[in-house]
Amino acid sequence: MSASRARLLREALEQIGAPYLWGAKGDLVHPYGLRAFDCSGLVTWALMRAGGPDWRATHNTDRLWAEGVPVEAPQPGTLVLYGAAGDPSHVMLYVGAGVVVGASGGGRNTTSISLAQDSGARVKTFVTQHYRPDLLGYREVPGLVG
């Protein structure tokens, strides 16, 4: 695994337990002192921390799907996207051995730390990338992870 892929995954995995908030891109939530993320916010924050572009303000799941390079099989650090055909609504990072990590369990209504806590919305792992039935496919970030 390349150093950039390893750092991308480390940055994302270090955020396990951080709350999911709709639209959050890794900024600290005061007075809690916690970083908060939505699904694309975690991915773009981890990419930036791994030395890639700062796409937090410009990229959501649609842009990650459209601009990512399609691949048949994921490797550690690959984007895993979910949603209706041609309309991605969720993104995770592939860790390996089927495991994915991402900000999950929330949605448009998860707008506060208390709502995130009540619904279990946070950065977490799943033991299979097929934890949702609407897996669209895999994408690599151009020019970052080799």
- Tell whether 146 is covered by a domain: no
Q: Specify the pTM.
A: 0.94
- Tell whether 82 is covered by a domain: yes
- Tell whether 96 is covered by a domain: yes
pLDDT at position 72 = 95
- Determine contact, residues 98/129, Cβ cutoff 8 Å: yes
- Tell whether 90 is covered by a domain: yes
Q: How many CB atoms lie within 10 A of CB 18?
A: 21
Q: At what angle do helices 3-13 and 39-49 cross, to 10 degrees?
A: 130
Above 60 in pLDDT, residue 30?
A: yes
Identify the CA nearest to 38 among candidates 6, 64, 75, 67. Answer: 64
- Tell whether 135 is covered by a domain: yes
User: Residue 61's pLDDT band (boundaries 50, 70, 90)?
Assistant: very high
Above 70 in pLDDT, residue 46?
A: yes
pLDDT cut 90: percent of the chain above it: 81
Total domains in the chain come to 1
- Rounded Cα distance between 31 and 76, Å, is 34
- Tell whether 19 is covered by a domain: yes
Above 70 in pLDDT, residue 145?
A: no
- Tell whether 145 is covered by a domain: no
79: containing domain: 3-140
Above 80 in pLDDT, residue 144?
A: no
CATH number at residue 74: 3.90.1720.10
- Tell whether 38 is covered by a domain: yes
